[in-house]
Chain A
C-alpha cells in the first residue's frame, strides 16, 4: 500500500481503472446484500470481511511471497489489543482513527518480525511463527494490569450515526465498516500486486537467486511483504475487537492462526479472491454443520463435536480433490466453459475472478 501511494502516477494507471469499477461494484452488491439480510447474518457477514482482510494479507505473504506464517493470529492480536487499549482510555475515538493506528502499529511491529522472518525458510519460519502464535497471548495473560489478563479488555460497539435512525441495527453498521475496510484493502492489494512490487514478491517466491540477479533486493522485498501482511492483520484484529466486543487471549489462540492458513489454502493460494472464498468457508461451514448436527437427534457428546469432525473431514477431502483451492477449481471450470462455448478470455462472464493475478499459481 505504501508503494501505491509513493507513486501518484499509478493512481490513474490502467490497473486502477480495471480494479476501481470492480471494487465499486462489489461495494454496491455487498451494501444491498447487507440491507436485505437480518442482523444475525450481518454479523456473520462482518466476520467474513474481517477474516478476508487477514487472509488476504496472509495470502500476500505466503501465497505470493512464499513465506509460510503460522502465527498471523498473533499479529491480529497486536491490532486488537492496540485498538482495545486506545478505546479503554478514549472511548469516543472515531473508528477510522482506531483502525488506522492499529494498522500502523502492527505494521511497525511487523518490521521487527519481518527482519527475523527474512532469515528463515520453509518449516523453520513455520516453527518460529507457530511459537509466536502460542507465546504472544501469554504476554497478555502475564501483564494483567495492562492487558486485562484472561478476562481481557471490553470494547464498546461502534454506535451507528444518528442520521441512520434510532433503530438501525448496530450489527449492520459493524458489517458496513468491516466490508468497507475489506473492499478498500482488496483494492489496494490488487493494485499493489499488479505493480513492480507485486512482481518482485512473486519473483522472490519463485527463485530467490534469480530475483537477486534481476536486481531485486530479496531481504527488503521479504520484509516489505511481511510489513504489509502485518498491517492487514492489524486492521483485521482491530475490527475483530469491535466485532467480538472483548479482546482476550482466548480469542487469539493457535486455532485462529491455523484457521487463517486454512482459509487461504482452501480458497486458493496466491489469489485475493481465494482469501475471500476461504473466509466464506471459515465462517459459514461451521454454521452449516452445527445447524445440521442440531437438527438430527444425537447424544450431546456426538452432536457437540460433529461440526468440528465434519470441518476437519472437509479439509482433508478438499486437499485430496481440489489441491488448488476453490479459486483454482473455479478457474478450471471457467477455462472449460470458455473452451466449450468459444468465449474469448476477458469477455463475457468475469465477476470476481479478475480480482487477482492472471497467472494461476502452481
Chain B
C-alpha cells in the first residue's frame, strides 16, 4: 500500500509535466493544425539557456524566467519564420519541417553549450518531505512542480475564457476567415498561440531538467509521452490534454513500479491503443468521427 502511495505521488508529478507538454501540443494543434514535433527540442534549448544564465551567476529564478521568456520568443519566431510560409502546404510537410527543426536544435545545443551531460539545479530541495517520522518520496520541488503547472493552467484558462484577447485567439483557431472579416489580426493571434504554447513547453523542460539531467535529447521521451497523453485526451481538448498527461504519468509510474521500468513504454502503448480502440479521437474530443 505504501508502495502504491509513493508511485501515485511520483505519477502525479511526472503526469503534471506530461500534461504541460500535452497542453503545449494541443494549443498549437488547435491554433494551426500542426503537431509540433520540435516542442521537446525547443524546451530543451530554453532549458539550456536557463542553465547558461544560472552558470553565469544569475539566481535560479532569473534562469527560470529566462527559460519561460525565451520559450515565448522562440515559439513566436518559429511560427513567424518557419511555419507561416508552409501554412497551406500538405500537413505532412509541416511534420517534416518540425522534425528538421528538432534535429537542428538538438545539434545546435551541444555546439553552443557543450556536449557533456549537465546537472540542472532544482528550485527547492529534492529530498522527500517528512511527516512526523516517516519520509515520503515527495519533495518540496515536486510540490513546486505541481503548483507551477497548475498556476500556468489556471492563467491560460483565464486568458482564453475571460479576456478579449483569448476570445480573439479562440476565434482565429475556430474560423480564420470569419475572424479576419471581423477585424481579428489572425496572423498575430497564431504567432501568440505558438509563443504561449512554447512557454508552457519551456516550463515542462525547466521543471523536469533537474531529474533527467540536461543533454540534447533529454526532452525526447517527454515529448513522446506528452503527445501520447494529448492523443489519449483528444487533440482538440485542453482538458483532455491535462487528463491525458496525468493518465500517462500514473500509468508509467505504476507500470514502471510493478513491472519494471523497461516496460514503461509498452504500458503506454497498451493504454493508448485501448483508449483509441474505444474512442478513436481520444477521450474528450467532441468531434464525431465519420464512419464509412
Q: Which residues on A are within 8 Å of B, measured CB to CB?
A: 62, 68, 116, 119-124, 126-128, 130-132, 134-135, 138-139, 141-142, 208-209, 211-212, 218, 254, 258, 261-262, 265-266, 269, 301-302, 304-309, 311-316, 318-320, 323, 362
Q: Does B289 contact A (CB under 8 A)?
A: yes
Residues of B within 8 A of A127 (CB): 227-228, 230-231, 272
A121-B281, A127-B231, A262-B99 are known; give 15 further A-B pairs, CB within 8 A: A130-B228, A135-B265, A142-B266, A208-B292, A218-B292, A254-B220, A261-B99, A305-B111, A306-B107, A309-B104, A312-B104, A315-B96, A316-B101, A319-B86, A323-B86
Given contacts A127-B231, A323-B90, contact A301 B103 (CB under 8 A): no
Given contacts A116-B277, A119-B277, A127-B231, contact A309 B108 (CB under 8 A): yes
Complex contact B224–A134 (CB within 8 A)? yes
Q: Which residues on B are within 8 Å of A, measured CB to CB?
A: 29, 35, 82, 85-86, 89-97, 99-108, 110-111, 114-115, 220-221, 224, 227-228, 230-231, 235, 260, 262-266, 268-269, 272-273, 276-277, 280-282, 289-290, 292
Which listed residue (B89, B108, B224, B260) contacts A319, Cβ 8 A?
B89
CA distance A316 to B86 in the complex (A): 10
How far is the CB of A68 from the nearest CB of chain B, in Å?
7
Complex contact B104–A316 (CB within 8 A)? yes
How far is the CB of A342 from the nearest CB of chain B, in Å?
32
How far is the CB of A320 from the nearest CB of chain B, in Å?
6
Which listed residue (B85, B115, B224, B230) contacts A320, Cβ 8 A?
B85
Complex contact A269–B92 (CB within 8 A)? yes
How far is the CB of B201 from the nearest CB of chain A, in Å?
17
Most buried by B among A301, A318, A319, A362: A319
Given contacts A128-B276, A142-B262, contact A311 B96 (CB under 8 A): no
Given contacts A132-B269, A218-B292, contact A124 B93 (CB under 8 A): no
Say what secondary structure dominates the interface of chain A: helix
Complex contact A138–B95 (CB within 8 A)? no
How far is the CB of B280 from the nearest CB of chain A, in Å?
5
Residues of B within 8 A of A319 (CB): 86, 89, 93-94, 96-97, 100
How far is the CB of B147 from the nearest CB of chain A, in Å?
29
Which listed residue (A124, A138, A302) contacts B264, Cβ 8 A?
A138
Complex contact B276–A135 (CB within 8 A)? no
| Nearest neighbor of B285 in chain A, beta-carbon distance | A124
